[in-house]
């Protein structure tokens, strides 16, 4: 059987009185890509943010239930949230490089977490992250220029490099390609495919084709419920639930 | 019936494929009926008509392929839509083959009419053809109604054609041994029977795809087979 990296059990999430997630239970397999799909507002981003406790900073947001990373309850008392977010990195829909140099964008995280002891070590780490993110050849000569000066696709790969630099175990991606053209998208998808060798990836996408192309497991959310989950191939060829069927064939919005 | 798509033109495109398929199916059935009628009534004109009409089925297949490829490229169908498009493609290929077999029956009929009839064999062939046409009709019906039970039933009914084929095979071998002058005619009849038996097989192929389309699974059970011609020996 596949090793399980993250387990969510009976998770309910509320924004004030409004319940955004209802009784979500799912196992996220290690070193695979899990795609979260579903109509707008169904709770995909909410669920993604629960995995690294990004919801903590949202006023009135409350979570019930249990989420475990390697069988450790991430909502347990005494969990260091900063450390948790280093283990579980996140890449957002809109590339959001810091207004700093390309080099500093990547060095920032490792510096905070004290991952290096010398500048030579830091150089290696930065170059390694750029390499893994498939960006190195495009930026080798301009590491000192601002990250915001890169193209959208390059910025997104910079953000992925930044996420990788702190040596996470899990990378969460919320619609990472929605602002990119097909070529930049293909490069990110290729990158995701390579990254899954070493990282567990959970990705929200609105593109059925993208979910089908890059993920091994797919979970379909609908109105705060996790309606169906399974091997990606099964979900896209023979979904069991009518709502999944209707959504992926373009019958409900 | 399923909900319609948000994009209405997608529904229209899928409907078009089904219309083409229904037309092909109707023609394939009619071709088979006519070919066998030509054989039984020794009507060469009717047989020639069947030969000439076959290109229409071929043209419909080309049309359906083109429409299906366009849907796959432009719509990227998923789930039931995907299964339907794939099933339509496979079904049209099988119907095209059925048309070819009907044409072959007609071609051999034109030759056979030049010869002495062999006993009552044409009627056994007619009986086989009725069964085969029944299977083609039923499987197309199962396709349209998305009826899993009806599709599975077609897979089971093919055995009957196989059994008739086996007994006809024996009968023709006996004729040939009794009267060597009948060998040419009997050989043509053997091929005709074989063609009809193959039509039954193509109907069951379609039935397997309909099973897949409806359930998402390919049938894995062995269906009964009644064709024993490969082991048949007649000694005088
Ligand atoms: N910060 C917030 N405060 C209050 N309600 C929120 C907040 N964030 C999300 N919600 C509500 O929770 C529900 C789920 O939202 P969420 O952003 O998780 O959906 P989503 O599936 O990611 O949608 P999309 O595909 O549009 O990004 C929605 O009804 C949304 O309005
Ligand atoms: Mg979202």
Ligand nearest to the CA of A220: 1
Please, what sign has the CA dihedral across residues A9, A14, A17, A22?
negative
Report d(CA B155, CA A109) in Å as an integer.
64
B212 vs A: CB within 8 A: no
Supply A55's token pair.
Answer: 């919801």
ipTM: 0.78
pLDDT tens per residue, range A189-202: 999 999 999 999 99
What's the CA gap between A173 and A160, in Å, rounded? Answer: 9
Please list, residue by residue across A56-72, b when 16 or more beta carbons sit within 10 angstroms of its beta carbon and e when fewer do: eeeeebebebebbbeee
User: Do the strands A18-29 and A4-15 form a parallel or antiparallel pair, or are they unpaired?
Assistant: antiparallel
Burial class (CB within 10 angstroms; exposed 0-12, middle 13-18, buried 19+) of B206: buried
B76 touches chain A (CB under 8 A): yes
Please state, in angstroms and rounded to a whole number, the distance separating the CA atoms of residues A67 and A57.
17
Nearest chain B residue (CA) to A236: B79
Chain B partners within 8 Å of A208 (Cβ): 76, 78
Exposed / middle / buried, residue B201 (Cβ in 10 Å: 0-12, 13-18, 19+): buried
A77: number of Cβ within 10 Å:
5
Q: Are A26 and A230 in contact (CB under 8 A)?
A: no
Of all residues in chain A, the one with the smallest CA distance to B79 is A237
**How confident is residue A220, by pLDDT bands cut at 50, 70 and 90?**
very high
Interatomic CA distance for residues B213 and B216, integer angstroms: 6
Compare all CA atoms of chain A with the CA of B77 and give the residue at the minimum distance: A249
The CATH code belonging to domain A4-95+165-248 is 3.40.50.300
What are the phi and psi torsion angles at A89 (to 5°)?
-85, 165
Residue A253 has pLDDT above 80, yes or no: no
Question: What angle in degrees, to the nearest 10, is found between the helix axes of B183-215 and B79-112?
Answer: 170
> Which pLDDT does position B142 carry in this prediction?
97
A 194-223 near B (Cβ less than 8 A) = 208-209, 212
The percentage of chain A sitting over the pLDDT mark of 90, rounded to a whole number, equals 90
Sheet arrangement for strand A88-91: A72-73, A61-69, A4-15, A18-29, A225-231, A217-222, A33-37, A200-204, A170-174, A88-91
What is the third-level CATH fold of B8-231?
Methane Monooxygenase Hydroxylase; Chain G, domain 1 (1.20.58)
- Which pLDDT score is estimated for B71? 94
Q: State which H helix or E strand residue A187 sits in.
A: helix A182-195
The string over B14-30, giving b where at least 16 C-beta atoms fall within 10 Å of a residue's C-beta and e elsewhere, is beebeebbebbbebbbb
What is the pLDDT, as a whole number, of residue B220?
78
Among protein residues, the one whose CA lies closest to atom 9 of ligand 1? A46
| SS3 of residue A170 by DSSP | strand
Q: Chain A residues with CB inside 8 Å of B217's CB?
A: 238
* A224 and B CB contact within 8 Å: no
Instruction: Kindly tell me if the per-residue pLDDT of A182 is higher than 70.
Output: yes
3-class secondary structure, A252? coil
Rounded to 10 degrees, what is the CA torsion of B8, B12, B15, B20?
Answer: -170
Q: Which residues of A touch B10 (CB under 8 A)?
A: 250
Mutate to test the pocket of ligand 1, among A41, A61, A221 (most ligand atoms within 8 A of CB): A41
B80 and A253: CB-CB below 8 Å? no
Binding site membership of A55 for ligand 1 (Cβ less than 6 Å): no
- Considering chain A, what is the average pLDDT of its residues? 94
Cβ count within 10 A of residue A14 = 15
pLDDT per position in chain B (236 positions), as tens?
568 898 889 999 999 999 999 999 999 999 999 999 999 999 999 999 999 999 999 999 999 999 999 999 999 999 999 999 999 999 999 999 999 999 999 999 999 999 988 888 888 999 999 999 999 999 999 999 999 999 999 999 999 999 999 999 999 999 999 999 999 999 999 999 999 999 999 999 999 999 999 999 988 777 777 778 888 887 76
- The answer to whether A208 contacts B76, with C-beta atoms less than 8 Å apart, is yes
Q: d(Cα B220, Cα B217) in Å, to the nearest integer?
A: 9
- Tell me if chain A has a CB within 8 Å of the CB of B14: no
- For position B230, what pLDDT does the model report? 80
pLDDT of amino acid B161: 93
Which residue has the CA at smallest separation from atom 29 of ligand 1? A41
CB of A45 sitting under 6 A from ligand 1: yes
Check pLDDT > 90 for residue A145.
yes
Q: What chain A residue is nearest to B82 in terms of C-alpha separation?
A: A237
Domain ranges of chain A: 4-95+165-248
Cα-to-centroid distance, A133 and ligand 1 (Å):
29
For ligand 1, whether the C-beta of A62 sits within 6 Å is no
For every residue of A19-30, DSSP letters joined together read EEEEEEEEEEET
* pLDDT score, position A119: 94
Model pLDDT, residue B226: 75
* Contact check, Cβ <8 Å, A249/B6: no
A13-68: per-residue pLDDT in tens?
999 999 999 999 999 999 999 999 999 999 999 999 999 999 999 999 999 999 99
Find all residues with CB under 8 Å of A239, minimum gap 6, and list them.
A220, A228, A245, A248, B79
pLDDT range class, residue A1, cuts 50, 70, 90: low
């Amino acid at each position: 059987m596949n090793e399980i990296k993250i387990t969510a059990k009976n998770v309910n999430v509320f924004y004030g009185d409004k319940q955004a997630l209802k009784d979500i239970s799912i196992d996220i397999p290690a070193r695979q890509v899990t795609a979260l799909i579903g109509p707008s507002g169904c709770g995909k981003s909410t669920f993604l943010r629960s995995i690294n406790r990004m919801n903590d900073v949202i006023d009135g947001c409350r979570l019930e239930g249990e989420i475990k990373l390697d069988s450790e309850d991430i909502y347990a008392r005494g969990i260091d949230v900063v450390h948790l977010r280093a283990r579980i990195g996140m890449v957002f829909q809109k590339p959001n490089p810091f207004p700093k140099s390309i080099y500093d964008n990547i060095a920032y995280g490792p510096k905070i977490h004290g991952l290096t002891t010398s500048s030579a070590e830091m150089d290696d780490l930065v170059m390694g992250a750029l390499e893994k993110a498939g960006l190195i050849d495009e930026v080798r000569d301009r590491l000192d220029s601002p990250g915001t000066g890169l193209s959208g696709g390059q910025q997104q790969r910079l953000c992925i490099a930044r996420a990788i630099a702190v040596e996470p175990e899990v990378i969460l991606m919320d619609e990472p390609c929605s602002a990119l053209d097909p070529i930049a998208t293909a490069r990110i998808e290729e990158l995701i495919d390579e990254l899954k060798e070493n990282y567990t990836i959970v990705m929200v996408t609105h593109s059925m084709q993208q979910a089908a192309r890059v993920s091994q497991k797919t979970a379909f959310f609908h109105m705060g419920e996790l309606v169906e989950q399974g091997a990606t191939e099964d979900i896209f060829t023979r979904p069991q639930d009518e709502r999944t069927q209707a959504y992926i064939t373009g019958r409900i919005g | 019936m399923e909900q319609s798509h948000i994009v209405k033109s997608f529904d229209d495109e899928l409907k078009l494929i089904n219309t083409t398929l229904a037309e092909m199916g109707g023609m394939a059935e009619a071709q088979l009926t006519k070919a066998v009628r030509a054989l039984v009534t020794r009507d060469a004109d009717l047989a020639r008509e069947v030969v000439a009409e076959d290109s229409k089925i071929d043209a419909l297949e080309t049309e359906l392929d083109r429409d299906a490829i366009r849907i796959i490229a432009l719509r990227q169908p998923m789930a039931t839509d995907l299964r339907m498009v794939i099933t339509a493609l496979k079904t049209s290929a099988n119907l095209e083959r059925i048309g070819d077999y009907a044409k072959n029956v007609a071609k051999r009929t034109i030759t056979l009419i030049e010869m002495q009839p062999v006993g009552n064999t044409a009627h056994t062939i007619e009986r086989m053809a009725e069964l085969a046409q029944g299977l083609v009709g039923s499987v197309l019906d199962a396709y349209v109604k998305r009826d899993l039970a009806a599709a599975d039933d077609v897979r089971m009914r093919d055995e009957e054609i196989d059994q008739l084929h086996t007994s006809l095979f024996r009968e023709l071998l006996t004729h040939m041994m009794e009267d060597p002058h009948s060998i040419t005619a009997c050989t043509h009849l053997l091929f005709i029977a074989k063609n009809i038996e193959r039509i039954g097989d193509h109907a069951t192929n379609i039935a397997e795809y309909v099973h897949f389309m409806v359930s998402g699974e390919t049938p894995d059970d062995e269906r009964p087979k009644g064709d024993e011609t490969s082991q048949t020996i007649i000694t005088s």
